[in-house]
Structure 1
Amino acid sequence: MQCETAVRPAVAGDVGELSALLAEAFVSNPVASWLIGGVAARYTTFLRVFEVELTQALSHGIVRVAGDGAGVAVWQPYPMVLETVTAHDRALLGAVGIYRRRFAHLRAARDEHRSAALRLPTGPDRPERPDQRAEATEVAVAAGEAGETTEVAGHELVWWAAAPWLRRRRIGAALLDDHQRRLDAAGLVGHTVTDEPYVRDLLARHGWRTPGPRHLSPAGPPLWSMRREPGAVRRGYGR
């Protein structure tokens, strides 16, 4: 039997190492490639971005580390207070430099996807086929505009990665299990956005649902907004 990976809270001294891990993990990511064409510029820009994201999350969110820095998960309670959002946005704009327009587009798309995920129907009668889920989400969004549903508070999985050379060792699964226990105990919804099918599938095996993909732009990569209800049952063995 494989031993469970230990998970601990991050501290300020972890920021440099974890920023490098995230930048390495995301340098070939579809959205990262869409945001910044050159690999060298992409890595250095994301290194700055992750330093901002981790520093912010240590003060206003939750950062969990797997093993001896083998993986990291960054969670953000939602909704954030306005003062925190404003300060965070200013810091990110400084980090992304000349790429701020595309990063702003990505932020708007993530906000839209979060709203879609938080309005997914709940309960035993939720649809299972992608075409049914998409239709149900459209209905739910329309109902929300009529005041019949509202977005719910929860925790957003903002960043989540294992060191690229340590993948398929259940590091990501250990990080998920660690925080999902806390979400279940508090009765909170989890939500995230991913652009990678294998991440979508791994989350699905941990009880996360999606209404289907939406493209970042007509020529951009697909994004899946995903939601997990408290106590959602795992559907298989995670990686």
Structure 2
Amino acid sequence: MGVQIRQATAADRDVVLRLMDEAFHGDPVSSWILPGAEHRRRVHPLLMGSFLDVVLEHGRVDMAEDGSAAALWMDTPAGEPEPSDGPAQVRAAIDPDNERIELVGTLTSAVHPHHRAHAYLWMIAVAPDRQGEGLGTALMAPVLERCDREDTAAYLEASSGRSRELYLRLGFTDLGKPLQLPDGGPLMYPMWRDPQS
């Protein structure tokens, strides 16, 4: 499909943030982190904004020119990362009484592989009324092609069974067992993609 893709800048923050908030508002993981509808309405944009700001500063945000989709990528080197209190900082800044914000960050950090450098897909957001049109696949294709060309792996945590199916079609495989969030929370699926020839 003919999707025009460009790298987002700080000037695109409001457009991408609105997209992320809409796309993930009903996501199983977002709904578990912020179970109350009114509380989620107020806090969810702040949570998405904290992720977006980190990636705008340290990674890469690709977006469809019409603002209908965006992907947040971080290049991750091999080797154990420096200890970080990032999840605690996000919790303190966004919703100090909400342990689940910190817990998700801690749990995903614990399963994140570091044996090989890789492109880490933090999030991919597609406008709810445009899902199922192939925008996510089109948005990911240039990065995955670069990974293949440069012999680099890719990694992500799928937040739903539906998104997991998309990533399987794109060459990702399950990396170990799904991550079960506590207290009746949803599954998250750590997934790895070796470079493909």
Please report the TM-score for the alignment, with normalisation by the length of structure 1: 0.74
1:9 to 7, 10, 15: 7
- Structure 2 gaps, min length 5: none
Task: Give the Å deviation of 1:155.
Answer: 1.5
**1:7-156 correspondence runs (5 A):** 7-79=5-77, 82=82, 90-91=89-90, 93-99=92-98, 101-115=99-113, 151-156=115-120
Q: Distance in 1 between the 2:110 and 2:85 partners?
A: 18
Q: Distance in 1 between the 2:33 and 2:18 partners?
A: 18
Q: Distance in 2 between the 1:16 and 1:174 partners?
A: 22
Aligned to 2:168: 204
> SS at the partner of 1:98?
coil
Q: Distance in 2 between the 1:165 and 1:27 partners?
A: 13
- Report the structure, 1 or 2, having the larger helix content: 1
- Structure 1 gaps, min length 5: 119-150, 233-239
- After superposition, the CA RMSD in angstroms is 2.2
Q: Distance in 1 between the 2:110 and 2:82 partners?
A: 17
Q: Distance in 2 between the 1:226 and 1:113 partners?
A: 10
Q: Distance in 2 between the 1:42 and 1:219 partners?
A: 18
Aligned to 1:168: 132
Shift in CA distance, 106/87, structure 1 to aligned 2, threshold 3 Å: closer
Task: Give the Å deviation of 1:86.
Answer: 5.3
My pick for the range that moved more, 199-208 or 14-23, is 14-23
Q: Distance in 2 between the 1:66 and 1:8 partners?
A: 7
Aligned AA for 2:138? A
Q: How many residues are treated as equivalent by the alignment?
A: 194
> SS at the partner of 1:169?
coil
Task: Give the Å deviation of 1:25.
Answer: 1.1
Shift in CA distance, 201/190, structure 1 to aligned 2, threshold 3 Å: same
> SS at the partner of 1:97?
coil
Q: Distance in 2 between the 1:178 and 1:43 partners?
A: 33
Q: Distance in 2 between the 1:181 and 1:92 partners?
A: 35
Q: Distance in 2 between the 1:16 and 1:8 partners?
A: 16
Task: Give the Å deviation of 1:190.
Answer: 0.5
- Report the structure, 1 or 2, having the larger strand content: 2
Contact 1:191 1:226 in 2 (8 A): yes
Q: Distance in 2 between the 1:227 and 1:112 partners?
A: 15
> SS at the partner of 1:21?
helix
Q: What whole-Å deviation, never above 9, does each CA across 1:114-171 have from its counterpart, x for those lacking one?
A: 23xx6xxxxxxxxxxxxxxxxxxxxxxxxxxxxxxxx111111111110001111111
Aligned to 2:196: 231
Contact 1:5 1:66 in 2 (8 A): yes
Task: Give the Å deviation of 1:209.
Answer: 0.2
Shift in CA distance, 88/112, structure 1 to aligned 2, threshold 3 Å: closer
Q: Distance in 2 between the 1:185 and 1:192 partners?
A: 19
Contact 2:7 2:63 in 1 (8 A): yes
Q: Distance in 1 between the 2:183 and 2:163 partners?
A: 22
Q: Which has the larger radius of gyration?
A: 1
Q: Distance in 1 between the 2:74 and 2:119 partners?
A: 5
> SS at the partner of 2:149?
helix
Shift in CA distance, 214/57, structure 1 to aligned 2, threshold 3 Å: closer
